Amino acid sequence: MKYLLDTNIWIWMVENPDLISPKFHPVIHDPDNYPFRLSAISAWEVAKKISIGKLSLSVPVRDWLTKATRKPCIDIIPLDVDIAPESTQLPGVFHTDPADQIIVASARLYNLTLITSDQRIGDYPHVKTL
């Protein structure tokens, strides 16, 4: 099984692994699950949260992003012409956060299990989550 990291899980993996629920540890620490996929929008989310004061990191954001996206652990999924429309046409009812919509659309199109601690995503029945 292949996995997509939600932004919050990715931040915790790099910045503060103690925040990650123990239920995720077997998956996150298994090298057979590498590389984890990551939506490009997650890099934007991190930079945006830094710029508006909702997040602080141990190093400058550009340095953090370089470190946090290195191979072989992370493989970036770009925002493309397939994901963009899918994110606006998700089945059922999903909340209006565009970053979450893009992340969910990426998981659906690439048939990935989304690792998230976001209950709103976890409750959405049209994407596989852990």
List per-block mean pLDDT (blocks of 10 residues) for the chain, which spans 130 residues. 94 92 91 95 96 94 93 91 96 94 97 95 94
Q: Spell out the domains of the chain, with CATH numbers in brackets.
A: 3-122 (3.40.50.1010)
Q: Alpha carbon of 27 to those of 66, 95, 126: distances in Å?
A: 23, 27, 21
**Burial class of residue 20 in the structure, from the number of CB atoms within 10 Å of its CB (0-12 exposed, 13-18 middle, 19+ buried):** middle
Question: Does the pTM of the predicted model rise above 0.75?
Answer: yes
Helix (H) or strand (E) holding 47: helix 40-51
